[in-house]
Copies of this chain bind each other. A is one copy, B any other.
Amino acid sequence: MQSRSGAPTLEAVAKRAGVSRATVSRVVNGSPKVTPDVLASVRQAIEELGYVPNRAARSLASRRTQAIALVVPEDTAKVFDEPYFAQIVQGVATHLATTDYALSLLISSAGSTEKTRRYLLGGNVDGAVVVSHHKDDPLLEGVAGTLPLVFGGRPFEPVPPHTHYVDADNVGGARAAVEHLVKLGRRRIATIAGPADMTAGQDRLRGWEEALVAAGLQADLAERGDFSPASGAKAMRALLATGAPIDGVFAANDQMALGAYAVLAEHDLRIPEDVAIVGFDDDRAASTALPPLTSVAQPSSEMGAEMARLLIQLIDGKGSVPEATVMPTELHVRASSAAQLKLSA
């Protein structure tokens, strides 16, 4: 009885309630122009029959799909390893659960961009949230401008007009992290930066620099990594190899910070006594590390929810939607950063 073949239709409800299909449709779609008693009887019929509107039919007739796509690139090993992405997905999905939009998850591998484009352009969704698109990504050619889009993370310059995105305050977060180290008395603060081809990497590097300049300190100790633990270790090694008396490190993410942990241990440098460290993302790994890692937390799942919310606003065309939404970060102080011991050297 519940099977697809036997599912009750709008017509069945209409018959049972003694009204026309149009009226039932109005009730289902919450039209205000329905007499209370009619509304009641229709609702009852719906209830009794366990009627559920057929999405395909509705979509076909209304030319709206009531679905949005979430597009993530397939560097998925990388992608889903980052709790950040998983949380974005979670935020989007959870928000959508409160609406009647369905979520279609698209993994776009390098080879399937054409397929993804067709999907997006084929009228399968009313809009899309695009997470971590690459520089010069061909994926969105033709899509932007045709389909409402919201990006996760600031896109690369030049940002096309009317590009909507949600991002964390990477610059501010990085600045706060470094200011924290400065207040602790650290003076030679290095950074393990993120990749140059990701705006998050660029912005966190900038925050580090701004804070040092503002404090009248030198901003010359920087090495780039690719957000992986191994790259963090490599960068730390390079920094130590310069021979500079480093007493503080700001890593652009926690994974690289943890990679640095191992290298510092090899060099018999204690955390935080000799070198204080601050990471970014507030990974789960940050709190279980020894010592627990101070980190800049970004509200990933809230960001996902916000992207979904904005996209729906865009789709509904109600009011104006801000093009840039920057969410605040929060410094979580743990044992990896502490005031410097005044042991002199």
Closest chain B residue to A229, Cβ basis: B288
Q: Number of residues in A with C-beta < 8 Å to the partner?
A: 63
Are B284 and A255 neighbours in the complex by a CB distance under 8 Å? yes
- Could you tell me which residues of chain A, from 1 to 52, have a CB within 8 Å of some CB in chain B? 2-5, 7, 52
A160 beta carbon closer than 8 Å to chain B? no
> Does A290 sit at the interface, judged by CB under 8 A?
yes
Q: Is A74 part of the binding interface, using a Cβ–Cβ cutoff of 8 Å?
A: yes
| Inter-chain contacts of A93 with B (CB < 8 A) | 76, 105-107
Q: Which residues of B have CB within 8 Å of A107? A: 90, 93-94, 97
**A90 with B102: CB separation less than 8 A:** no
The minimal Cβ–Cβ distance linking A319 to chain B, given in whole angstroms, is 22
Q: Is the CB of B90 within 8 A of A80?
A: yes
Interface membership of chain A positions 73-107, coded 1 if the CB is closer than 8 angstroms to chain B and 0 otherwise: 01010011101011101100110010000111111
Complex Cα distance A10/B244, Å?
Answer: 68
Chain B residues with Cβ below 8 Å from A56 are 55-57, 59-60, 65, 123
A79 CB → nearest B CB, Å: 7
Per-residue interface assignment for chain A, residues 228 to 259, with 1 indicating a CB less than 8 Å from any chain B CB and 0 otherwise: 01000000000000000000000000010011
Residues of B within 8 A of A90 (CB): 76, 79-80, 107
Does B104 contact A103, Cβ atoms closer than 8 Å? yes
**Is A262 close to B, CB under 8 A?**
yes
- Taken together as a complex, chains A and B put the C-alpha atoms of A2 and B74 apart, in Å, by 25
Q: With A146-B3, A262-B290 known to touch, is A103 a contact of B102 (CB < 8 Å)?
A: no
**Closest partner residue, chain B, to A85 (CB atom):** B86
The reply to whether A94 and B109 contact each other, CB–CB distance below 8 Å, is yes
Chain B nearest CB from A257 CB (Å) reads 9
- In the complex the two chains form, is B97's CB within 8 Å of A54's CB? no
Q: Is A53 part of the binding interface, using a Cβ–Cβ cutoff of 8 Å? A: yes
Q: Which residue of B lies closest to A265 (CB)?
A: B290
Task: Report Cα–Cα, A305/B106, bound state, in Å.
Answer: 14
The 19 sampled A-B contact pairs (Cβ below 8 Å) are A7-B122, A52-B118, A52-B121, A54-B123, A56-B56, A80-B90, A80-B301, A81-B83, A81-B86, A89-B89, A93-B105, A93-B106, A102-B104, A104-B105, A255-B284, A258-B288, A259-B288, A265-B290, A289-B289
